[in-house]
Amino acid sequence: MKIIMLGAPGAGKGTQARMMTEKYEIPQISTGDIFRENIRNQTELGKKAKSYIDQGLLVPDELTLDLVLDRLSGEDCKDGYILDGFPRTIPQAEALTAALEEKGEKIDFAIDVEVPDDNIVQRMSGRRVCPKCGATYHIRYNMPEKEGLCDECGTELIQREDDSPKTVQKRLVVYHEQTQPLIDYYRRKGCLYAVDGTRSTDEVFQEICSVFG
């Protein structure tokens, strides 16, 4: 199964992808992980990506696609994979489609985890993280035993800058402008399946599994 996860930041698609990886034993692949791995291993593609990242620039689509396709050629991807966070734009999607078609392959499922913007802002602005051990909490859905303190190490919890309501709303604007058109793109391809992301994690997962049959 070749799967793409779609949905706004904070919709829970990463969590669902991890659960799918465990159940179906196919890797979850994110561009962030690919960039970090190539940079750490100092590959030629990694060096090119680092030159853009170090300047605070976006890695160009062509280079990002090369990195993704290199990762998809890995032995662990032979039975399928879950793309989480790529493609982000129509040009990236078109380039991915063309590259897969050259190998006689295609995306089987594009799963759109639908969550209204108001819910997203509430979810993400309520997140708290431990700056020491990285544990995550939520002021409504996953509270620590002692308010404001990490259960694991007792460190005072913080709200990340990109989880503030103002930043979340900016990220949603970018998502609707750039990434949401992918929903129409994959709908035209006949492989889009929308699931209700407002329910519990397990309920969303069950619906996704029912899509695969």
HEC secondary structure over 74-89 = CHHHCCCEEEECCCCC
Just list the catalytic residues: 13, 88, 127, 160, 171
CA distances from 15 to 10, 55, 58, 173 (A): 10, 31, 25, 22
Look up tokens 């609707």; give the residue: 176
CA distances from 72 to 26, 53, 93, 159 (A): 11, 22, 15, 35
